[in-house]
Amino acid sequence: MTLLKSCEQDGEKRAAAARAVEEVEDGMVLGLGSGSTAAFAVEAVAARVAKGLRVAAIPSSEATAALARQFGVPLTSFVKHRRIDVTIDGADQVERGTLNLIKGLGGALLREKIVASASDRMIVVVDETKLVDRLGRSTPLPVETVSFGWQTTLDRLSAFGCEPRLRMIEDKPFTTDSGNYIIDCIIAEIPDPAALEPRLSAIVGVVESGLFVGLASKIIVGRPAGVEVIER
Ligand code: A5P
Query: What is the chain's mean pLDDT, rounded?
Result: 97
Say if residue 232's pLDDT is above 90. no
The pLDDT, as a whole number, for residue 186 is 97
Percent of the chain's residues with pLDDT above 70: 100
Question: Which residue from 13, 34, 130, 132 has its CB within 8 A of the most atoms of ligand 1, so it is best to mutate?
Answer: 34
Does residue 14 line the site of ligand 1, with CB under 6 A?
no
Over residues 90-105, the mean pLDDT reads 98
Which is the closest atom of ligand 1 to the Cα of 105? 8
Residue 97: other Cβ atoms inside 10 A: 8
For 173-185, the pLDDT digits (tens) are 999 999 999 999 9
Say if residue 1's pLDDT is above 90. no
The pLDDT, as a whole number, for residue 4 is 80
- 112 as an active site residue: the answer is yes
Element (H, E) at 143: strand 141-145
- Label residue 122 by pLDDT band (50, 70, 90): very high
Say if residue 168's pLDDT is above 90. yes
Residue 50: other Cβ atoms inside 10 A: 11
What phi and psi values does residue 127 have, to the nearest 5 degrees?
Answer: -95, 170
The pLDDT, as a whole number, for residue 6 is 84
Does residue 33 line the site of ligand 1, with CB under 6 A?
yes
For 33-74, the pLDDT digits (tens) are 999 999 999 999 999 999 999 999 999 999 999 999 999 999
Instruction: Check 12, 43, 95, 112 and give the catalytic one.
Output: 112
Q: How far is CA 22 from the centre of its chain?
A: 20
For 101-114, the pLDDT digits (tens) are 999 999 999 999 99
Percent of the chain's residues with pLDDT above 90: 95
The more confident residue out of 6 and 89 is 89
For 211-221, the pLDDT digits (tens) are 999 999 999 99
**Closest residue (by CA) to atom 1 of ligand 1?**
106
The answer, as to whether pTM is greater than 0.85, is yes
C-alpha distance across the termini of the chain, in Å:
32
Say if residue 3's pLDDT is above 80. no
**Closest residue (by CA) to atom 10 of ligand 1?**
35
Over residues 126-149, the mean pLDDT reads 97
Amino acid letter at 191? P
Over residues 107-135, the mean pLDDT reads 98
Over residues 162-175, the mean pLDDT reads 97
Does residue 102 line the site of ligand 1, with CB under 6 A?
no
Distance CA 31, CA 139 (A): 25
- Label residue 225 by pLDDT band (50, 70, 90): very high
